[in-house]
């Protein structure tokens, strides 16, 4: 008979609470709510997961995850970041743009997939995490090859569109005179 490992849940929770106490953001969150960081973070996480699971406001939560932290991190990279930070966040925004475009084209199907928004939030965390650098992975595997293959036709189409807009603006300005 194999003995199951003995888990001391209380000790694990205490260790995790100490870990959160050492994290300034978690500590401030706990202080803000007047409770240990573990309880505050658990409550906020449960609230967010509830939104994601039951669909009420799940798209809002996903947009907050996809925009707020990356926008702030991009700001920090612009202000005092390294060349590597700039590259990481530019890559994130390019991949995020492509993901958002594809998602908007098939949103009516994705909406019906159970736990889609939970998976989407996890995917967004993977995209911008320092540990996994998912945006870089997807950029190298998917986005870059497609853009490289169609670069000339995209540039040509953009130039034609720009010429057309400039021509229309020129006609409108001469018409006003």
The reply to whether 50 and 63 lie within a common domain is no
The reply to whether 43 and 104 lie within a common domain is no
Q: Cβ contacts of residue 132 below 8 Å, gap of 6+?
A: 126
Query: For residues 41 and 47, is the Cβ–Cβ distance under 8 A?
Result: no
Q: Is residue 7 part of a domain?
A: no
The reply to whether 93 and 26 lie within a common domain is no
Q: Is residue 1 part of a domain?
A: no
**How would residue 92 be classed by pLDDT, with cut points 50, 70 and 90?**
very high
Q: Is residue 3 part of a domain?
A: no
The reply to whether 37 and 70 lie within a common domain is no
The reply to whether 27 and 87 lie within a common domain is no
The reply to whether 65 and 41 lie within a common domain is no
Q: Is residue 5 part of a domain?
A: no
The dihedral through the CA atoms of 8, 23, 37, 121 has a sign that is negative
Domain containing residue 30: 12-54
| Number of structural domains the chain divides into | 2
pLDDT of residue 53: 76
pLDDT of residue 7: 66
The reply to whether 159 and 127 lie within a common domain is yes
> What is the value of pTM for the model shown?
0.71
pLDDT digits (tens, 9 = 90+) for 115-126: 888 899 999 999
Say how far apart CA 108 and CA 105 lie, in whole Å.
Answer: 8
pLDDT digits (tens, 9 = 90+) for 102-155: 999 998 888 788 888 889 999 999 999 988 999 999 999 999 999 999 999 999
Say yes or no to pLDDT of 85 above 60.
yes
Token pair listed for 154: 């995209």
Q: Is residue 4 part of a domain?
A: no
């Amino acid at each position: 008979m194999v003995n199951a490992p003995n888990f001391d849940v209380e000790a694990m929770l205490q260790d995790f609470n100490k870990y959160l106490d050492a994290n300034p953001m978690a500590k401030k969150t706990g202080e803000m709510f007047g409770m240990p960081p573990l309880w505050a973070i658990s409550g906020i996480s449960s609230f967010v997961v509830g939104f994601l699971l039951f669909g009420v406001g799940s798209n809002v939560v996903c947009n907050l995850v996809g925009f707020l932290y990356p926008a702030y991190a991009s700001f920090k990279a612009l202000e005092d970041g390294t060349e590597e930070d700039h590259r990481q966040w530019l890559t994130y925004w390019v991949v995020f743009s492509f993901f958002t475009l594809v998602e908007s084209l098939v949103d009516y199907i994705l909406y019906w997939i159970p736990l889609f928004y939970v998976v989407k939030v996890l995917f967004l965390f993977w995209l911008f995490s320092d540990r996994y650098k998912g945006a870089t992975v997807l950029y190298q595997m998917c986005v870059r090859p497609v853009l490289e293959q169609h670069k000339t036709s995209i540039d040509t189409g953009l130039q034609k569109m720009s010429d057309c807009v400039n021509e229309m603006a020129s006609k409108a300005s001469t018409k006003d005179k």
